[in-house]
Amino acid sequence: MSDSSHTLIRVARILSAIILFAIAGIHLFLVFDGVGGVLGILFVLNAIAGVALGIGMLALRGRPLQLAAVLSLLFIVASFASLVLALTVGLFGITETWSFTLVPQTFVIEAVGIPVLAATSVLVARRRKAA
């Protein structure tokens, strides 16, 4: 595998981790900002998962990295879908508005994160296949 391919995978992994840490940070901030109840618990779990997956994107190699990449993609798709549902029809009885704290930023980060994590998953899988 060429040096440029290794560099591309490294950059994709770092970008993926940054996005995962940003999502985790936003959700944790919202808990400290006063979001409580069931939503607060879900946000704490989201933050824990984002940090764990971000670390996995940076620290793992081989098959565990491939698993972390796919799980990260599924995680961000689920998080984005939850936000869209909360903004439109409601989710678990919670209806979200665009004016709520960090909703537009979360929407953009997660929308950008989906193709980044999809590309990272493909790159990692191709590298494993080539090896």
* Exposed/middle/buried for residue 113 (C-beta within 10 Å: 0-12, 13-18, 19+): buried
- pLDDT at residue 82 in the model: 94
What average pLDDT does range 73-82 have in this prediction? 97
Sequence ranges of the domains in the chain: 3-130
- pLDDT at residue 131 in the model: 63
Chain segment 28-48, per-residue pLDDT in tens? 999 999 888 888 999 999 999
Q: Which of 6-20, 68-82, 84-98 has the lowest mean pLDDT?
A: 84-98
**Which is more confident, 93 or 21?**
21
50: its two tokens: 């984002």
d(CA 51, CA 53): 6
- pLDDT at residue 92 in the model: 81
